[in-house]
């Protein structure tokens, strides 16, 4: 951000802290609570994706030593692959959110306060 924007944001933070320090600290703590929630969600999604990949592997028959062939009559491998892909996309989106929350928690706290108004 530019220096002018940084100064404006600092003035806004100072004004909020002076007006209601308890509200500001609550909003700032809420940012870290949401950050922890998102990190936990990432861990759960990674766990689910790993389970889906293992189920897919067990549902497939070994065609030879190095390659697996899916049975055309069995939808489990396809459904597991789709589920793992959805988990992967969700993990990616949550990682972007975690970066946003952790790199600029002050701005996120201001957005939290704006949402209360």
Q: What percent of the chain has pLDDT over 90?
A: 38
CA angle 25, 18, 100 (to 5 degrees): 40
Q: Are 71 and 60 in contact (CB under 8 A)?
A: yes
Average pLDDT over the chain, rounded to an integer: 84
Complete DSSP assignment for 9-76: HHHHHHHHHHH-HHHHHHHHHHHHHHHHHHHHHHHHHHHHHHHHHHHHHHHSEESSSS-EE--TT--H
Q: What is the pLDDT of residue 117?
A: 60
Q: What is the pLDDT of residue 46?
A: 97
Q: What percent of the chain has pLDDT over 70?
A: 86
Whether the per-residue pLDDT at 64 is higher than 50: the answer is no
Range of the domain at 63: 3-116
Number of domains in the chain: 1
As a whole number of angstroms, the distance between CA 70 and CA 78 comes to: 8
């Amino acid at each position: 951000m530019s220096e002018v924007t940084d100064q404006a944001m600092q003035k806004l933070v100072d004004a909020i802290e002076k007006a209601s320090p308890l509200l500001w600290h609550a909003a700032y703590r809420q940012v870290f609570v949401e950050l922890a929630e998102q990190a936990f969600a990432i861990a759960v999604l990674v766990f689910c994706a790993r389970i889906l990949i293992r189920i897919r592997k067990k549902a497939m028959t070994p065609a030879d030593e190095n390659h697996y062939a899916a049975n055309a009559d069995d939808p489990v491998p396809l459904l597991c692959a789709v589920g793992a892909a959805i988990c992967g996309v969700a993990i990616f989106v949550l990682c972007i959110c975690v970066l946003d929350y952790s790199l600029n928690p002050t701005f996120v706290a201001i957005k939290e306060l704006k949402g209360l108004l």
